[in-house]
Structure formats: C-alpha cells, structure tokens
Amino acid sequence: MKKTIISAIAAFGIMFSNTASAQALEEGNLVFDVYYGFPNLYTTVFKAAYTQGTEEGLSISGIGPVGFRAEYLLADKIGLGLDIGFNNTKVSYIETGLLEDYTYDFSTKKIGVLLTFNYHFIDNDQVDFYGVFGVGYGNRTFSFESSDPSYTQAEISSLIPIASRIGVGVRYFLTDNLGINVAAGFGQGGILNAGLSVKI
C-alpha cells in the first residue's frame, strides 16, 4: 500500500508536467506548508489492541501528525527547508477499587524538528513535484498517571532523540501564491499528509 501511494503521487506529478518555461518555484522563493498526516501510528495501534477490551470508561484519542514546513529555494531545483511536526496519543480508563474508582492515563507525544533537502524534479507554472530527505531532532515521551495514590507516576523520553523523513511531494498552485500540497513517505509527518501552501 505504501508503494502504491508513493507511485500515485509520482504519477500525479508527471501527469501535470509540461514543457512550459514558467515555473511555480524558482531561486529565491520561500514556501510555507501546513499539513495534517495519516496515520497516527500509536492511536491506530492502541485502538486495534483495545478492540476487545473490557476497561470501564475507555477512551483512546490522538492528534496528528500535524506540522509546518518552510523551504527556501537555493536554486531552481534545490531547496533547503525546516519541518516541524507534532503528534500525540492518549489512553484513559477506570478501574473499580474496593472503596473508590481510580482513573489511569497513558499518553505519548512526539515533537520533531528536521532540516530538509528538497530536489524539485518537475516545476511548471502550477505544479511542483519534489523529493525530500530530512534528519534532525525528534523526542517522544511516554507518561503514566493515575488517581490511585499508590500508583507510581512515570515519564520516559526517547533514548536517541532523532527524527527523519524520506519521500516525495506535490504542490499544486491554484493562484500565483496559494496552493495545496500532498506528500507521501516514511518518517515524520505520517505515510501520507496534505495541506495548504503559500509562496512568497
């Protein structure tokens, strides 16, 4: 499925390519993307794991991957960028005690900041199709809390706080400065993400 998504993104870029001399992006441009990705891996895994769960008041929720990208075109085909991403997952449930009920909460969140290198394969007056590689800081924390006074609260962070991304993306500009973006890949941002783009 992952290969199919990436192939579809590539086909989309090729389909809209032409030999026009106008370019959506060129040296000196600055582009900002906001995006929301899929899937939230931890939320998906916990929902699957708790399908047959009997925990009272069970709640599983998550946000993201959600992120912000900025890219500066060093040349017509080469861009240097920054990708800031966030996601979280929370699992809550209640256990019945002898005298009272206690709540239990497990949560995990990740914040990542990547330096990215983009190579723009196709760039005409509306479509920008590019490949991206990024690496940088990524810290995931795991927190365990409970209203039970005998429960030991805990928080654990990543042993190796590194995040990365490799993939492809397409921006389609609806006007000279405003467009939509779709990207597929592995690492920060999810397998698939999409959002809005602004060029200045």
Domains: count for the chain: 1
- Which pLDDT score, from 0 to 100, does residue 31 have? 97
Could you tell me the pLDDT band of residue 132, with boundaries at 50, 70 and 90? very high
pLDDT tens-digit map of 94-128: 888 778 889 999 999 999 999 999 999 987 889 99
- Answer left, alpha or beta for residue 90, where phi above 0 means left and psi between -120 and 50 means alpha: beta
CA distance 1 to 4: 5
Q: Residue 82: which domain range?
A: 2-17+26-199
143 alpha-carbon distance from chain centroid: 21
Which of 12-16, 25-29, 70-74, 154-158 comes out lowest in average pLDDT?
Answer: 12-16
Count CB atoms within 10 A of the CB of residue 141.
14
Among residues 35, 31, 15, the alpha carbon closest in space to that of 182 is found at 35
**8: buried, middle or exposed (CB in 10 Å: 19+, 13-18, 0-12)?**
middle
Mean pLDDT for all residues in the chain: 88
The CATH number linked to 152 is: 2.40.160.20
Could you tell me the pLDDT band of residue 183, with boundaries at 50, 70 and 90? very high
102 contact partners, CB below 8 Å, separation of at least 6: 94, 95, 146, 147, 148, 151
Residue that wins the pLDDT comparison between 46 and 65: 65
Among residues 154, 199, 186, 198, the alpha carbon closest in space to that of 65 is found at 186
